[in-house]
């Protein structure tokens, strides 16, 4: 069961995204009057399906993929091979005009629409999922405070550069007034490269240059600094002990029963061990420090028998238009991060070891499913956007490679020869297989290294 569960969830996750992707190609092909012979989820032998009109809709044996076969195309072949097949047909009969419903007979701009429709549908899926989550209830963490270094790893890049505990990072790279997430992002994407850092040390502004070291396991840069987690109240349940004690959203929690709250677990354990006795919580509200007393109440959850009724996230419900705006912002940030990671890999600032393959996605899918529908849907949105961008990379056999070939033909004002198309396609297939083998190796290595 431990093996089957991740497989089940990754099939669900990828199956939905593949379905949406292929529907994009399918609908676009019909829109420009291209005959679609087969619509398949999966590759290999046909398991079951049905025929509607001229199209055979099927589920095939190998679930990790899918295809839309248009007129003149062999199963699993790319659009480039559709053109190749029709080239052969035309070469064999100079006088016979190409079938007007064949993909290759269409103007290049219409072929480009069919190619782009698949990735576009994955982008729209990501936008729709996140917008729907915002309309239902999207948990957002309270904005974190300034990143203050609390400790440094001995021999780390930050320690060698001269930074000290208590330094507040006010700029890292080009990012001014960063939060901890900004700091982690910049250091992760700049392994073995100098990164300018400006800190505030007891009112004095100091500038440093650090060179994050490459983490051999994760393949990202690590500066070696640590900071306390900024635990702010995100939500206070109505009628809860926290509300009765006077806790409010935005309060910064400092300690519970004189024990520093360095993580949510510290507060949770203190509440559970209280068994209903009052807990003293020190907090900061604005510039004021105060202490409140909350009396935990019992719950029906055996894993959390006592609670005070707070969450470290606040749930946001938005109407359609604001939800779409937030979704566009969320996905734009994710897309930007994807391109930054790819750029950092090409510049050797991030190791290719940071890439995940199907095994890694299966693990993430299973973990997200266990956390609940929200986490699973959010992961689906993120992976769908990744899939769209990956498909648009200029690699032959992918949508981006096929589109690049069309653009080249437009610039040349002539067709690229059949021999060149087939050679490029074969090289692209080999390159893609190398990537697949590499990311699977990464997944296995990561599992082994983490025990």
Q: What is the pLDDT of residues 130-139, one digit of tens each?
A: 999 999 888 7
Q: What is the pLDDT at residue 126? A: 96
Neighbours of 293 (CB within 10 A): 12
Q: What is the pLDDT at residue 342? A: 85
pLDDT tens column, 215-225: 887 788 999 98
Nearest alpha-carbon partner for 195 in 224, 230, 223, 226 = 223
Q: Would the pLDDT of 149 be above 90?
A: no
Please say whether the beta carbons of 312 and 231 come within 8 A.
Answer: yes
3-class secondary-structure state, position 398:
coil
Report CA-CA distances (Å) from 413 to 299, 405, 408.
72, 12, 8
pLDDT tens column, 254-285: 889 988 887 788 888 899 998 889 999 998 88
Q: Would the pLDDT of 14 be above 70?
A: yes
Give the least confident one: 162-166, 219-223, 434-438. 434-438
Q: Would the pLDDT of 91 be above 80?
A: no
pLDDT band with cut points at 50, 70 and 90 for residue 145: low
Helix, strand and coil in the chain, % to nearest 5: 45, 20, 30
pLDDT tens column, 233-244: 888 888 999 999
State how far Cα 162 lies from the chain centre: 35
In whole angstroms, how large is the CA radius of gyration of the chain? Answer: 27
Q: Which two tokens stand for residue 415?
A: 């067709």
Share above pLDDT 70 across residues of the chain, in percent, rounded to a whole number = 90
Region 418-442 average pLDDT: 83
What pTM did the predictor assign? Answer: 0.75
Q: Would the pLDDT of 228 be above 80?
A: no
3-class secondary-structure state, position 384:
helix
Q: Which of 42-46, 143-147, 269-273, 421-425 has the highest mean pLDDT?
A: 269-273
State how far Cα 98 lies from the chain centre: 43
Q: What is the pLDDT at residue 442? A: 78
Nearest alpha-carbon partner for 215 in 353, 340, 363 = 353
Q: What is the pLDDT at residue 346? A: 83
Give me the sheet containing 175-176, strands edge to edge: 175-176, 168-172, 195-201, 204-210
All domains of the chain in start order, with CATH = 4-134+381-449 (no CATH), 151-226 (2.30.42.10), 235-311 (2.30.42.10)
What is d(CA 143, CA 205) in angstroms, rounded to the nearest whole number?
24
3-class secondary-structure state, position 189:
coil
Q: What is the pLDDT at residue 451? A: 55
| Phi/psi of residue 392, nearest 5 degrees | -90, 0
Average pLDDT of the chain, as a whole number: 84
Q: What is the pLDDT at residue 2? A: 58
Choice between 116 and 446, residue whose per-residue pLDDT is larger: 116
Terminal-residue alpha carbon distance, the chain: 19
Nearest alpha-carbon partner for 252 in 312, 298, 185, 318 = 312
What is d(CA 448, CA 451) in angstroms, rounded to the nearest whole number?
5
Share above pLDDT 90 across residues of the chain, in percent, rounded to a whole number = 35
Report CA-CA distances (Å) from 190 to 78, 344, 381.
37, 7, 26
Give me the sheet containing 259-260, strands edge to edge: 259-260, 252-256, 279-285, 288-294
């Amino acid at each position: 069961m431990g093996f089957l569960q991740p497989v089940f969830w990754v099939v669900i996750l990828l199956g939905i995204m593949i379905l949406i992707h292929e529907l994009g190609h399918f609908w676009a092909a019909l829109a420009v009057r291209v005959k679609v012979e087969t619509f398949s989820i999966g590759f290999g032998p046909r398991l079951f399906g049905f025929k509607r009109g001229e199209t055979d809709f099927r589920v095939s044996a190998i679930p990790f993929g899918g295809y839309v076969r248009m007129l003149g195309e062999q199963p699993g072949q790319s659009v480039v091979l559709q053109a190749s097949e029709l080239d052969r047909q035309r070469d064999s009969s100079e006088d016979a005009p190409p079938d007007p419903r064949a993909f290759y007979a269409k103007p290049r701009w219409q072929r480009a629409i069919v190619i782009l429709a698949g990735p576009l549908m994955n982008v729209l899926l990501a936008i729709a999922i996140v917008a729907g989550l915002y309309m239902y209830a999207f948990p957002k963490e309270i904005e974190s405070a300034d990143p203050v270094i609390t400790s440094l790893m001995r021999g780390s890049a930050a320690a060698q550069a001269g930074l000290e505990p208590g330094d507040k990072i006010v700029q890292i790279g080009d990012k001014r007034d960063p939060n901890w997430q900004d700091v982690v992002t910049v250091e992760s994407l700049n392994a073995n490269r100098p990164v300018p850092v400006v800190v505030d040390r007891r009112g004095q502004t100091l500038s440093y240059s650090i060179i994050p070291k490459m983490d051999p396991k994760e393949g990202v840069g690590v500066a070696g600094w640590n900071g306390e987690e900024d635990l702010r109240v995100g939500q206070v349940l109505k009628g809860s002990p926290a509300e009765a004690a006077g806790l409010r959203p935005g309060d910064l929690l400092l300690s519970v029963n004189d024990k520093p709250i360095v993580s949510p677990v510290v507060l949770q354990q203190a509440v559970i061990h209280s068994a209903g006795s009052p807990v003293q919580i020190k907090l900061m509200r604005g510039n004021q420090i105060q202490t409140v007393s909350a009396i935990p109440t019992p719950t029906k959850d055996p894993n959390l028998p006592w609670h005070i009724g707070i969450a470290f996230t606040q749930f946001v419900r938005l109407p359609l238009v604001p939800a779409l705006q937030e979704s566009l912002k969320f996905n734009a940030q994710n897309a930007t991060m994807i391109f930054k990671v790819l750029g950092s890999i090409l510049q050797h600032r991030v190791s290719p070891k940071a890439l995940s393959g199907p095994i890694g996605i299966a693990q993430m899918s299973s973990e997200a499913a266990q956390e609940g529908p929200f986490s699973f849907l959010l992961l689906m949105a993120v992976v769908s956007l990744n899939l769209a961008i990956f498909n648009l990379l200029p690699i032959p056999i992918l949508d981006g490679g096929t589109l690049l070939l069309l653009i080249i033909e437009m610039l040349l004002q002539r067709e690229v020869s059949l021999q060149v198309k087939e050679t490029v396609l074969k090289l692209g297939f080999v390159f893609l297989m190398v990537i697949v083998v590499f990311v699977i190796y990464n997944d296995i290595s990561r599992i082994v290294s983490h025990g």
